[in-house]
Amino acid sequence: MAILDLVLGRPLSSAEDEEERVGPFAGVSVFGLDALSSAGYGPEAALTILIPLGVAGLQFSLPITIAVHQFWPSSISVIAKQSLPIQMEQELTLWRRKI
């Protein structure tokens, strides 16, 4: 324990503890900087994970593109028919006949 005392110092007694306390004004300025510096590492840590995963996900772009290209026209017509009111669908039918 002598090495620990040498590195950190000896333990304080209760009387000495009162003298070493940090008040609110000093505490906010000292510990607030710690919170700001810690918050700066969050985006870096997120990008450390997201960049390799994004690169790994590039292999799926071609199959997804092919699937969207194959099913896009049929899905659009189904969605359009379900969402158009009857009157708009009748007007669309009349407009198609004119063309």
pTM, entire model: 0.35
Sign of CA dihedral 71, 73, 79, 81: negative
Angle at 67 between CA 63 and CA 69, to 5 degrees: 115
11 domain-assigned: no
32 domain-assigned: yes
17 domain-assigned: no
Which residue segment(s) compose the domain that 72 sits in? 23-98
Token pair of 26 as six digits: 């000093």
pLDDT tens-digit profile, the chain (99 residues): 678 888 888 887 887 777 777 788 877 877 777 777 777 788 888 888 999 999 998 899 888 888 877 776 665 565 556 655 666 777 778 778 876
2 domain-assigned: no
Number of domains composing the chain: 1
